[in-house]
């Protein structure tokens, strides 16, 4: 389609230029301003055609660019407004810098006191738990030692009793009788 259109334009320009020259066999004559009427007509038609073809794309392009610029300006205005609000907030903070410093210092001191109190309570709780654990461990070890001593004492007494009974024949007979009486 474009090829046919360009061919038609080229043919039109060629025909008008040949006609303007009066053909190949035209006599040589003096140049005048009227000799430019056909090339001027060709230029006007060609330029008109080009303008007619690119008018819509150019219009769309410029409308799109205008819309982009409009949205960019709107975004810049919003950012400017936000920046102004932040600047004003910082200005207010700078004006209240002394009170903010005092507030931060007071908060810091309160946090230190609370931390120290919390650490003290945790330490006291840990110490109490450790005391209880140590007391329970000591009580368990004491019971274990007492049981061990009782067992050793009993073993010692039984051992000495056996030795005493084995060394005396009368005691041996008497112990045997007591055992037999206990079994019956």
- pLDDT tens for the chain, 184 residues long, are 666 666 667 776 666 655 555 555 445 667 778 888 888 899 999 989 988 888 998 899 999 999 999 999 999 999 999 999 999 988 888 888 778 788 888 998 999 999 999 999 999 999 999 999 999 999 999 999 998 888 888 888 888 887 887 787 787 787 788 888 878 6
| Residue 2 pLDDT | 60
Length of the chain: 184
| CA angle, residues 114, 119, 124, in degrees to nearest 5 | 130
pTM to 2 decimals?
0.33
Output phi, psi for 91, to 5 deg: -60, -40
DSSP E strand boundaries for the chain: none
Half-sphere exposure of 138 (CA within 13 A, CB side): 6
Asked whether 27 and 60 are in contact (CB, 8 A), the reply is no
| CA angle, residues 43, 45, 49, in degrees to nearest 5 | 115
Tell me the helix, strand and coil percentages in the chain, rounded to 5.
90, 0, 10
């Amino acid at each position: 389609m474009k090829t046919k259109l360009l061919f038609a334009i080229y043919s039109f320009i060629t025909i008008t230029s040949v006609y303007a020259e009066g053909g190949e066999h035209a006599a040589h004559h003096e140049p005048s301003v009227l000799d430019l009427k056909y090339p001027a007509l060709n230029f006007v038609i060609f330029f008109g055609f080009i303008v007619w073809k690119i008018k819509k794309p150019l219009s769309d392009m410029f409308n799109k660019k205008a819309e982009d610029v409009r949205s960019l300006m709107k975004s810049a205005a919003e950012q400017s407004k936000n920046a102004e609000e932040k600047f004003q907030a910082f200005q207010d903070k700078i004006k209240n810098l002394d009170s903010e410093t005092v507030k931060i210092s007071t908060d810091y001191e309160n946090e230190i006191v609370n931390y120290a109190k919390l650490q003290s309570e945790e330490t006291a709780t840990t110490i109490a738990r450790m005391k209880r654990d140590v007391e329970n461990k000591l009580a368990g070890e004491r019971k274990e030692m007492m049981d061990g001593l009782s067992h050793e004492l009993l073993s010692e007494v039984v051992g000495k009793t056996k030795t005493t009974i084995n060394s005396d024949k009368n005691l041996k007979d008497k112990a045997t009788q007591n055992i037999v009486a206990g079994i019956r």
